[in-house]
Structure 1
Amino acid sequence: MYKLSTVVKLGLLTLGFTQAFNATAVLDVNPIAPVLPEGASLGFIAKNLNQNQVIAEFNPQTFMLPASTQKVFTALTAKLALGDQFRFETTLLTNGKIQNGTLNGDLIAKFSGDPDLTSGQLYNLLAQLKTQGVNKINGDLILDTSVFVGHDRGLGWIWNDLTMCFNSPPAAVNLDNNCFYVDLDANQPVGENVKFNVPSQFPIQVFGQVRVASKEEAPYCQLDAVVHDNNRYQIKGCIARQTKPFGLSFAVQDPDAYAAATILRQLKRLGIQFDGVVRQPHQPQQGTILAQHFSKPLPDLLKKMMKKSDNQIADALFRTIAYQYYKRPASFQLGALAMRQILASKAKIKFGNSIIADGSGLSRHNLIAPQTMLQALEYIAQNDSELHLLETFPVAGVDGTLSGRGSMINPPLVKNITAKTGALKGVYNLAGFLTNERGERIAFVQFINGYSTGDLESKTKRAPLVQFENRLYLGLYQD
């Protein structure tokens, strides 16, 4: 009995060692989490896709702000709903005819939300009228922006960021990312006003009362932009003296008026006479095509969106997906419905009580759990032979928003992590993939919200983050 019992116990012990050796080790995040500043919230999950096993988790079901990792959902939805051949289209049409150098009828400019459209491309489009012999337009200019409806900004966008270019409205018509710049000359005596110079190509007005502050007052100065109708900007506040002129960028607040003014200027530059008015009906316009411009195909747009975290592309696609899916003018709310429906039906992603407010991640209304984002990463990895989305993620130490990430610029992490970043005030997120030392692919989601170093913000803001991420991802790599 004694010998038999011993043999059985030894056999069970050996089996236990074998199972432990073959199983993927689990990384304990608890000793690493306290590296983050006090008060920060962490949600994390990592899964070894080769072993199909979750190997690390910390609050994986907690809803948090995804910030720009939201673009992972947008990229996947666009691939599934639009396809690689999709291009944005900008078209000039007419309801009349060209006769003896005159376009007898309205000029219809039909916009579809192209986030990469430039004023130069629009000029080349209008120049095709000239090559068709048009010297005069005997009709009105009609702007067709009917693909989108409602506000051109998502619910939950921060109000005091709305004049910033990263918050430019992703409208049906986007010219030069709906962003312009103004030159400021602050090389004036203390107390005198700063001089503004608006480059001639921008159909906007900028005026204000910004004075040059003394060295003692300068640290407490700030600039405020007050927006008036018809793209008029009033700049207030004070600023330290600057020896050289510098530029400030602002978001266009009325994209339709901006586009109309641009078109009228370009027609005049081309020598095409126009005496009509600008109209903007809500219904889609039909007519004879005079000229067309197509954006780059979807894969190129997605690569730029993911690598550079381009908000304009993300939210243009967000509503365009809804427009194509529901065949009706799209709002941000309709975009949210379309994303949930498409990802649930085609990728089997379970959103549960998640909140989707936009496609860029700018909204403070978005609420996503790490395990929900992980579902998208798993689907992307499993289907990348068709999707080709892995190549759009920034690569640590190489390109995009990960090119200078301090926690992963050295071996073995450099070039070994590909992830979409997400950053807002107090938010530092990552969603992507790591290849461990055994060559296995690890999908991971890192959500850090409420990050603050308080009074040390200006000196040590990122130091705890760098230390935390370096320890965490080295642990995943070596595990």
Structure 2
Amino acid sequence: MSKLLKSTFVIGSLFFHTATAQISDIKPFLQPLPQGTSLGFIAKNLTQNQVIAQYNSDTFMLPASTQKVLTALTAKLALGDSFRFSTSLLTNGTIKNGILQGDLIAKFTGDPDLTSGQLANLLSELKKQGIQKINGNLILDTSVFASHDRAPGWIWNDLTMCFNSPPAAVNIDNNCFYVDLEANQDVGQHVKFNVPAAFPVQVFGQVRIADKKEAGYCQLDAVVHDNNRYQIKGCLARQTKPFALSFAVQDPDAYAAAIIQRQLKRLNIEFKGQVQQPLTPQQGKLLAEHLSAPLPDLLTKMMKKSDNQIADALFRTVAYHTYKRPASFQLGTLAMKKVLSSQAGIQFGHSVIADGSGLSRHNLIAPETMLQILEYIARNEETLNLMATFPIAGVDGTLSGRGSMINEPLVKNIKAKTGALKGVYNLAGFMTNAQGEHIAFVQFINGYSTGEHESRTQRGPLNRFENSIYQEIYRQ
């Protein structure tokens, strides 16, 4: 069997339907995709209300970060544009003669954009109110979320990486920190770890400098211990300049407690109490409050940059507002389906929703289901204003440099949310065809691999497939 026929056999047949034309020879579109690739695809002319391309559109596949399209619509419908995350300081005591007689309550609600600088400014409000000493405990109120801060189906060996940082109620600097490594020593000696003073973590390990012959087989492994201690093992080639490695904070609550205590010390506010974390919401007099950017700004960042922290914070926040109880990821699943089915008429069937970011390998959605979301957005864009949050080919976000769309007529024309995991290359979005008609499309590519030479050939077949198929859709 020829290579062309093999590829066609694996991928299958794809037919285009329009009112006036149909493409019968689909081999030029499918041939570039590597053997073994699974494709789910659907494109619809919204102006004519007609499906113009369809293949395996009812097959469940991994949505990856196109899942954020569901999250964006859910947040819009459930929370509204005026929604902001709140981080606040409260007390159950009184302030007299510069002394806070009572507990300092730090209430976190999952703000995914909170920075250590903003938290420092919030704490400095205590000094402005004349507080010089706290006669009580530091109470962390993180009761808005419950259960694990990572969703089912997140890959274990990615959990120390920043894109997999836990979207907890406490989320400071994206729950990510970095460590400087000095690896300019002689072969056989150990790398030096330098942790910036701003990060209340410990990093240690036994990383050996390897010679050129061994370096190609080296690997760095991170072992996480309690109280945000990280042990780095392995070896690497000699590096002439220091470089940084980023890690996900594993215990956000302990991390926040340490930062708050450091800031109190910097402000010369005396504190000798204990850190407590009750399970129930805490009440008290408001001392200071920080509000996040409003929802539209958060959604733009989430969609353009594919921000996982914002997506999963919103996923559980919607559940908290919907069910009025501490939200787990499982409750987030129920809330998303409830909001989208009741308010947008989305039919999920047997779809599996595990998180809001698309990181979970448990998520399973068919292209037809994703198309329902896109159609609802298009019909209600005047009130939703969501299309502007999608990355634009050749312009911004995760589509700014997509090789298949850097030339006319696709550049600046396609607006789509990307989705990528190992072996996954997805798109969900919109374009305008040559007749000025609006097209919605969903591309789910799973099981994509170019084999042992993937580092050099990975994107080539994908670019050829996407460029040819979207150019043809443009011409329809």
The offset of 1:25, in angstroms, is 3.7
1:103-114 equivalences under 5 Å are 103-114=100-111
Q: Who is 2:462 aligned against?
A: 465
The partner residue of 1:98 within 95, 99, 109 is: 95
1:282-293 equivalences under 5 Å are 282-293=279-290
1:47 touches 1:442 (CA, 8 Å); kept in 2?
yes
Q: Who is 1:455 aligned against?
A: 452
1:15-26 equivalences under 5 Å are 23=19, 25-26=21-22
2:174 touches 2:309 (CA, 8 Å); kept in 1?
yes
The offset of 1:23, in angstroms, is 1.8
Matched residue SS, 1:220: coil
Instruction: Give me the whole-angstrom Cα distance separating, in 2, the residues matched to 1:42 and 1:240.
Output: 40
- Give the percent of matched residue pairs that are identical in Structure 1 and Structure 2: 76
- The superposition leaves residues 116-141 of structure 1 with CA deviations (integer Å, 9 ceiling, x where unpaired) of 00011001000000000000000000
After superposition, the CA RMSD in angstroms is 1.1
Q: Who is 1:139 aligned against?
A: 136
The offset of 1:34, in angstroms, is 2.9
Instruction: Give me the whole-angstrom Cα distance separating, in 1, the residues matched to 2:413 and 2:56.
Output: 25
Instruction: Give me the whole-angstrom Cα distance separating, in 1, the residues matched to 2:25 and 2:447.
Output: 18
Instruction: Give me the whole-angstrom Cα distance separating, in 1, the residues matched to 2:129 and 2:33.
Output: 64
The offset of 1:22, in angstroms, is 8.7
2:206 touches 2:233 (CA, 8 Å); kept in 1?
yes
1:80-479 equivalences under 5 Å are 80-479=77-476
Instruction: Give me the whole-angstrom Cα distance separating, in 1, the residues matched to 2:344 and 2:167.
Output: 27
Change (3 A) 1:88 1:338: same
- The superposition leaves residues 278-315 of structure 1 with CA deviations (integer Å, 9 ceiling, x where unpaired) of 00000000000000000000000000000000000000
2:94 touches 2:102 (CA, 8 Å); kept in 1?
yes
Change (3 A) 1:24 1:420: farther
Change (3 A) 1:316 1:26: farther
2:415 touches 2:430 (CA, 8 Å); kept in 1?
yes
2:415 touches 2:431 (CA, 8 Å); kept in 1?
yes
Counterpart of 1:370, as a letter, is: P
Q: Who is 2:30 aligned against?
A: 33
Counterpart of 2:434, as a letter, is: E
Instruction: Give me the whole-angstrom Cα distance separating, in 1, the residues matched to 2:31 and 2:152.
Output: 33
Matched residue SS, 2:127: helix
The offset of 1:24, in angstroms, is 5.3
- The superposition leaves residues 351-401 of structure 1 with CA deviations (integer Å, 9 ceiling, x where unpaired) of 000000000000000000000000000000110000000000000000000
Instruction: Give me the whole-angstrom Cα distance separating, in 1, the residues matched to 2:32 and 2:23.
Output: 16
Instruction: Give me the whole-angstrom Cα distance separating, in 2, the residues matched to 1:445 and 1:26.
Output: 19
- The superposition leaves residues 88-127 of structure 1 with CA deviations (integer Å, 9 ceiling, x where unpaired) of 0001000000000000000000000000000110010000
1:320 touches 1:330 (CA, 8 Å); kept in 2?
yes
Instruction: Count the aligned residue pairs.
Output: 459
Matched residue SS, 2:147: coil
Change (3 A) 1:282 1:478: same
The partner residue of 2:41 within 34, 44, 52 is: 44
Instruction: Give me the whole-angstrom Cα distance separating, in 2, the residues matched to 1:22 and 1:471.
Output: 18
Give unpaired runs (5+ residues) of structure 1. 1-20
Counterpart of 2:463, as a letter, is: V
Matched residue SS, 1:46: strand
1:307 touches 1:401 (CA, 8 Å); kept in 2?
yes
Counterpart of 2:87, as a letter, is: T
1:315 touches 1:360 (CA, 8 Å); kept in 2?
yes
Instruction: Give me the whole-angstrom Cα distance separating, in 2, the residues matched to 1:27 and 1:148.
Output: 51
1:156 touches 1:363 (CA, 8 Å); kept in 2?
yes
Instruction: Give me the whole-angstrom Cα distance separating, in 1, the residues matched to 2:210 and 2:203.
Output: 20
The offset of 1:29, in angstroms, is 8.4
Instruction: Give me the whole-angstrom Cα distance separating, in 2, the residues matched to 1:142 and 1:48.
Output: 55
2:120 touches 2:263 (CA, 8 Å); kept in 1?
yes
Matched residue SS, 2:31: helix
The offset of 1:30, in angstroms, is 4.1
1:416 touches 1:434 (CA, 8 Å); kept in 2?
yes
The partner residue of 1:69 within 50, 66, 71 is: 66
1:27 touches 1:56 (CA, 8 Å); kept in 2?
no
Instruction: Give me the whole-angstrom Cα distance separating, in 2, the residues matched to 1:431 and 1:216.
Output: 45
Instruction: Give me the whole-angstrom Cα distance separating, in 2, the residues matched to 1:300 and 1:458.
Output: 35
The offset of 1:420, in angstroms, is 0.0
Q: Higher Cα Rg: structure 1 or 2?
A: 1
The offset of 1:225, in angstroms, is 0.2
Instruction: Give me the whole-angstrom Cα distance separating, in 2, the residues matched to 1:466 and 1:206.
Output: 41
